[in-house]
Structure 1
Amino acid sequence: MTRVVGKSSAILFVLGYLTLMHVSDPAAPFNAVAQVHPPVGIAYHAISISIEIAALAMLVVGGLVFYSIVTSARASGVNLIKLCLPTKRHLGMLIRGTLLSAFCLTLYIVGFGYIASGPPHISGQPLWIALLAALVAVFVGSALCIFVILLVSMLIALAVARSHIGTRIFRLVRLCMAGTLLGMGISFIATLCWIAMLWSSAPQFTMSDAGLGMGNLTWVILALGAMLVALYLEIAACRQSLKVHPLTLPQS
Structure 2
Amino acid sequence: MRRSTILTYCAFVLFALGYLTLMRTSDPVAPFNTVAQAHPQVGIAYRIISISMNIVALATLLGGGLVFYSIVKYARASEHNLIKLFLPTKRHMGMLVVGTLLIALCLTLYIVFFGFIVGSPPHIADQPLWLALLIAMAGVFVGSALFTFVILLVSTMIALAVSRSDTGPRVFHIVRIFMAATLLSMGISFGATIYWIAALWSSVPQFTMSDAGLSMGNLTWVILALGAMVLALCLAINALRQSLKVREPLVSQ
Report the TM-score, using the length of structure 1 for normalisation: 0.94
Deviates more, 1:210-219 or 1:141-150: 141-150
Counterpart among 97, 109, 112 of residue 110 in structure 1: 112
Letter in 1 for 2:208: T
Letter in 2 for 1:90: H
- 1:236 paired to 2:238: yes
Q: Aligned-pair distance for 1:51?
A: 0.6
Percent of matched pairs sharing the same residue: 68
Which stretches in structure 1 are left out of the alignment for 5+ residues?
A: none
Alignment of 1:15-94 (within 5 A): 15-94=17-96
Q: Aligned-pair distance for 1:229?
A: 0.9
Output one character per residue of 1:35-64: Cα deviation in whole Å (capped at 9) or x when no partner. Answer: 111111111111011011001111112211
CA RMSD of aligned residues (A): 1.7
CA contact (8 A) 2:113 2:121 kept: no
Residue 100 (structure 1) aligns with: 102
- Against the structure 1 CA distance between its residues 150 and 158, is the aligned structure 2 distance closer, same or farther, given a 3 Å change threshold? same
Q: Aligned-pair distance for 1:172?
A: 1.5
Q: Aligned-pair distance for 1:247?
A: 4.2
1:67, 1:168 → 2: CA distance?
Answer: 13
Q: Aligned-pair distance for 1:242?
A: 1.5
CA contact (8 A) 1:47 1:191 kept: yes
2:252, 2:161 → 1: CA distance?
Answer: 16
SS at 2:188 equivalent: helix
1:141, 1:4 → 2: CA distance?
Answer: 26
Q: Aligned-pair distance for 1:211?
A: 0.9
Q: Aligned-pair distance for 1:85?
A: 2.2
2:118, 2:128 → 1: CA distance?
Answer: 20
SS at 2:124 equivalent: coil
2:169, 2:14 → 1: CA distance?
Answer: 28
Letter in 2 for 1:119: P
Aligned length in residues: 251
2:52, 2:74 → 1: CA distance?
Answer: 33
Q: Aligned-pair distance for 1:106?
A: 1.2
1:177, 1:149 → 2: CA distance?
Answer: 21
Alignment of 1:184-195 (within 5 A): 184-195=186-197
Which stretches in structure 2 are left out of the alignment for 5+ residues?
A: none
Letter in 2 for 1:237: A
Q: Aligned-pair distance for 1:250?
A: 11
Output one character per residue of 1:58-109: Cα deviation in whole Å (capped at 9) or x when no partner. Answer: 1112211211111101000010122122222212221111111111111111
2:223, 2:33 → 1: CA distance?
Answer: 21
2:212, 2:252 → 1: CA distance?
Answer: 56
Residue 172 (structure 1) aligns with: 174
CA contact (8 A) 2:120 2:217 kept: no
Alignment of 1:9-20 (within 5 A): 9-20=11-22
Residue 221 (structure 1) aligns with: 223
SS at 1:123 equivalent: coil
Q: Aligned-pair distance for 1:248?
A: 5.0
Report the TM-score, using the length of structure 2 for normalisation: 0.94
Letter in 2 for 1:92: G
